[in-house]
Structure 1
Amino acid sequence: MEPLIIANMLMPAIITLLALAIVMSVFRVLREYERGVIFFLGRFQTVKGPGLIIVIPVIQQMVRVDLRTVVMDVPSQDVISRDNVSVRVNAVLYFRVIDSQKAVINVENYLQATSQLAQTTLRSVLGQHELDEMLANREMLNADIQTILDARTDGWGIKVSNVEIKHVDLNENMIRAIAKQAEAERTRRAKVIHASGEMEASEKLVSAANSLAVEPNAILLRYLQTLTEIAGEKNSTILFPMPMGLMDTLFKEQVKQSPKTEK
């Protein structure tokens, strides 16, 4: 008889605990960035949240969906560019769920699906460009990849807000080839600049010669100015070029002033 008495005493407590557990399971709390997709007997019913919601056990089921922006690292991908250069490229993807119903119903796992789609799109888009474009036009490539991903994930309720290419890894041979190309380009620019400077200098010299030819004494003043500049450097020996025209003038004057010899 004692076991029956104990069972009768514990039965109300057990029923109370079960009822309390059922009542507690009815109420769910969703945070501000969460939504609950409600299914009624397996069929989609509504999207609830945030805050306190009621979910009837057994009859209704709820799937939580996070609406915050997801930062996903796209693994390094082997890409062959349009000019047949093999590189390894990785990127980072920013996206978030904007339609909880589509994210749960239209795709099994939207995180994995978005990751796989980002990898294939990265290889496809970069394979259509040359290596120089990958290195110099990353903003354009980021925009192209983001546009393609955003269009393809729209049916999953996903909004891709940004894509950033982080690294473009090259092998050692390609790095040396790029270094040689950059060195050759710098040499070409130096030669062009030097030739341009020589051309400008020759034009200035021609202009200066024309100005000096107008006044014969100007060249003498220029020589004297040069002599003054050299003397200011405290040199013990000064080499001063004598104009041949000036020598001819002095020689003619000396001949005129010398007495004529009698025949």
Structure 2
Amino acid sequence: MLGFKTVHQNHVGLVETLGKYSREVGAGLNLYLPIFQKIRIVDLAMIPLSLQGYSVITKDNAEVQTTVTLNYHITNARKFEYENSNSVESMIQLVRGHLRDIIGKLDLNEALGSTSKINQDLAAAIGDLTDTYGIKVDRVNIDELKPSASITESMEKQIRADREKTAAIAKANGDARSIEIETKAKNEATVSTAKAEAAATVARADAKAYEIKKLNDMLASADSKYFTSQQIQAFSDIAKSPANTVVMDKDAIAKYADIPAMAQVMNKLANK
């Protein structure tokens, strides 16, 4: 009695006779002996796989949770089914082991900033090693590198501290600039005031010098009668005041005695 088994496109059938592999059949309708034989179907299409929540330790002892996605396909159905009890799990362990080694050589900041390089190194490290399991890894990608909660909190605190430090420095620079501008303005005002006062002082000095010069010129052009008249006026004022004592040498007394007006003033002083 014959049996019929359909193998679909991109699949392969492994014929087992009395539990032992005997041959491989391709896509299409295949005959077998149901009592003595069995056909095991193996999918050769590319298969996506996600490895989530995988913990690794960086060079600086930071714990990082990783999410890795990869695409693989079976290249040798016989090896895949018979030479390893779980070829997919073996492949996963191989990927995780190499990923642990690669990230373990990097500091946290390096690892977080170089996922593309990690992808390349991981793909190169795996290479054809999975061929032992009859598997070929076509693509591997680090989807996420997430530090632990404690490290994330520490990083956030550091970022806040850096921001506060930057803000404080900016404020200090702004205050210093304001003080500098204010001081410069005050200095300029002081200089302007000093220049104005100096100019006023020079102007007053020039005016005083001009006044003295004009007075000297006037005195130089005045004759003796002018001075005599001024002296007589002064004696007249003295005669009217309580201070009626005048000390003069005899020559001056004799000179003023010849002047009638002066004589009258002197008589008034004598009568007091």
TM above 0.5: yes
Q: Give matches, 1:75-90, under 5 Å.
A: 75-90=52-67
Partner residue, 1:260: 211
Distance 1:44 1:150 in 2: 30
Partner Cα distance (1:250, 1:78) in 2: 85
User: Is the CA contact 1:89–1:168 (under 8 Å) kept in the aligned structure 2?
Assistant: yes
State the structure with more CA Rg: 2
Report the number of matched residues: 203
**Residues 158-200 of structure 1, C-alpha deviation per residue, up to 9 Å, x if partnerless?**
121123243424133x2232123223444566688889999xx
Q: Residues 197 and 150 from structure 1, CA distance in 2 versus in 1: closer, same or farther, beyond 3 angstroms?
A: farther
Instruction: Work out whether residues 150 and 158 of structure 1, in 8 Å CA contact, stay in contact via their aligned partners in 2.
Output: no
- Specify the alignment match of 1:177 in structure 2: 154
Q: Which AA in structure 2 matches 1:147?
A: A
Are 1:65 and 1:100, in contact at CA under 8 Å, matched by a contact in 2? yes
Q: 1:63 to 1:193 in 2, by over 3 A?
A: farther
Match in the other structure for 2:89: 112
The runs of 5 or more residues in structure 1 that have no matched partner are 1-21, 206-222, 224-239
- Quick one: percent identity of the two aligned structures? 21
Structure 2 vs 1, CA of residues 89 and 249 (structure 1 numbering), >3 Å: closer, same or farther?
A: same
Shift of 1:60: 4.9
Pick closer, same or farther for the CA change 1:35–1:194 going to 2, 3 Å. farther
Which of residues 9, 20, 29 is equivalent to 2:6?
29
TM-score w.r.t. length of structure 2:
0.58
- Runs of at least 5 residues in structure 2 that lack an aligned partner in the other structure: 182-187, 217-272
**Matches of 2:166 and 2:136, distance apart in 1:** 46
Measured at CA, do residues 192 and 138 of structure 1 come closer, stay the same or move farther in structure 2, by a change above 3 Å? farther
The separation in 2 between residues aligned to 1:156 and 1:37, in whole angstroms, is: 16
How far apart, CA to CA, are the structure 1 residues paired with 2:53 and 2:115? 16
Aligned CA distance change for structure 1 residues 55 and 254 (closer, same or farther; 3 Å): farther
Are the counterparts in 2 of residues 72 and 115 from structure 1 also a CA contact under 8 Å?
Answer: no
1:1-263 superposed matches below 5 A = 22-23=1-2, 25=3, 27-39=4-16, 42-46=20-24, 48-57=25-34, 60-160=37-137, 161-172=139-150, 174-186=151-163, 243-244=192-193, 247=196, 248-249=198-199, 252=202, 255-256=205-206, 259-261=210-212, 262=215
Q: CA deviation at 1:75?
A: 4.3
Distance apart, 1:249 and its partner CA = 4.5
Change in 2 beyond 3 A, CA 1:193/1:39: farther
Aligned amino acid, residue 86 of structure 2: N
- Residue number in structure 1 paired with 2:255: none
